[in-house]
Amino acid sequence: LKLNSANLNSLENCTVPTYDRSSIKHGIVHVGVGGFHRAHLAVYVDSLLEQLKLKDWAICGVGMQSFDAEMRDALVPQDNLYTVIERSAPGSKARVIGSITDYIFAPDNSEAVIAKMAHPDTHIVSMTITESGYFYNENTHQLMTEHPDMAADLAGANPPRTFFGYVYAALARRYEAGLKPFTVLSCDNMQKNGHITRDMLLAFAQHRDPDVAAWLSQNGAFPNSMVDRITPRTVSEDVQSLRSEFGVEDAWPVVTEPFSQWVVEDKFCDGRPAFEKVGVQVVKDVKNVEEFELWKLRLLNASHTAMGYSGYLGGFQYIHETIGHPVFGKYIRNMMNEEVKPLLPPIPGVDVDEYIQTLIGRFSNPTLKDEITRICLGGSGKLPQFIMPSIAEQIVAGGPLRRLTLATAAWFRYLRGVDEQGRDFQLSFDPRNDELQQIARDEGNPMKLLSIKDLFGDDLRGDERFVKELTEAYNGLEREGAMKMIEKVA
Ligand code: NAD
């Protein structure tokens, strides 16, 4: 049966929303309606609407990239309904999510996006726009004002080209109208995602109008949050299995795991729904978010990154296969236990060994089919965040770092785009692929890559032990391949 409002009550094998979707105001505008948003925030909001029958908190989705036309074309004909398929060894569950009740494709309708954000009913603008959507220079911590899209928006481009361009335009209208700013809620995987959002948006506003910047700085809110739910890319088999197992015809379902976590700082300037009623950890102290964030980025994301590049070189297709391989499994476990765990702050009431065990269980989920090529996306945003900080801290502590270093070397080796049999392959997308691949190919030497200051800063290049280990790991990968090198350092 085709998924849409009219057929909702005839779907038998899955959970469906029973609330009246037509009468709920849009309290949230979400930019970047990809897999993750649809498996995470939109699910929490769906639970709120279902359980508390809230009338002010539906989501209006927004796509800003030209390729988001595909999401619009999938969602709109099904009245913005979609299915979340939760996969685990005991079996799959399907749940239709109703919290997104409208979708605006910004390239065709920029004014509608600005007007929706500026509308007094909108209390939160949330986003999952990937690291590159923030135009954040990791090294200088400044807004990348020189980027052509950012430069255009700073000069007042209409329609805007960036997330900040849109958000600023809407906030400036609210300022003029004497309204409160909305909360800008980042759900991207970045440490201090709220702080970065605030700093980049205020820098943007300062360029455009210092009065708006001052108003926003005084009245705005940018909660930090830690988000966690592994959400692979949807593939055509998922669409087919939903149809055959559950009888639902959905153009673009989402596949995810049973686990879900969201820790968010309780800092909202224009109200929020009672997220804590549906399993969200809403915390008063930003320190609590930061601790969870650190654990997650340094354990989960670092392990993913380490498995991604070396796993690709080693010929694996999925994460569960990689962690299930005795040598790779040992490598990842030891990396977490010996090189990362000792650096992490304790979190009262949470056992780090159990956390690591749970992670390994999640990575091992054979039904999730999380592709290595997805994990390899955007390495230039990942290595500096997930791997390098642990290396830098181990340098200072004089502790072990060879496994983390091998993960870095594997990324450098991967960037050449030539596999271990000498065949060219297409790198997973990264906004800096052209530049990085050229350096990786011309030099065949890890030091040139390590010299890119805005990625790696100065500290690591100056450390003799690290440089030696990195060079050896890189040369080892070249000579002996990933499997042998992982075995050596595991
Ligand atoms: P996706 O490819 O399904 O969706 C990405 C969305 O981001 C798209 O809607 C796209 O239009 C938007 N986007 C990308 N660049 C943008 C830009 N410059 N400006 C505005 N919008 C932009 O990916 P996803 O799986 O939904 O992941 C998105 C983000 O969610 C990740 O980058 C990460 O920060 C976070 N996240 C994902 C997972 C996961 O397991 N997939 C887990 C935790 C956090």
H-state helical runs in 242-387: 286-295, 302-313, 319-324, 326-334, 352-363, 372-375, 379-382
The tens digit of pLDDT for each residue in 452-461 reads 888 888 778 8
Planar angle of CA 398, 404, 408, nearest 5 degrees: 125
Higher pLDDT, residue 442 or 143: 143
Atom of ligand 1 nearest to the CA of 377: 32
User: Does the model's pTM come out above 0.90?
Assistant: yes
Instruction: Return the best residue to mutate from 33, 130, 319 for the ligand 1 pocket (most ligand atoms within 8 A of CB).
Output: 130
Residue 482 has what pLDDT? Answer: 98
Q: Indicate whether this complex's ipTM tops 0.95.
A: yes
Average pLDDT score over residue span 46-71: 98
Asked whether 129 lines ligand 1 (CB < 6 A), one says yes
Give the residue, by CA position, lying nearest to ligand 1 atom 14: 129
With cut-offs at 50, 70 and 90, classify the pLDDT of residue 295: very high
**368, 230 Cβ separation under 8 angstroms:** yes
The tens digit of pLDDT for each residue in 142-166 reads 999 999 999 999 999 999 999 999 9
Name the token pair of 164: 């900040």
Residue type, 447: M
Asked whether 128 lines ligand 1 (CB < 6 A), one says yes
Average pLDDT score over residue span 43-63: 98
Integer Cα distance of 409 and 32 in angstroms: 32
Residue 140 has what pLDDT? Answer: 87
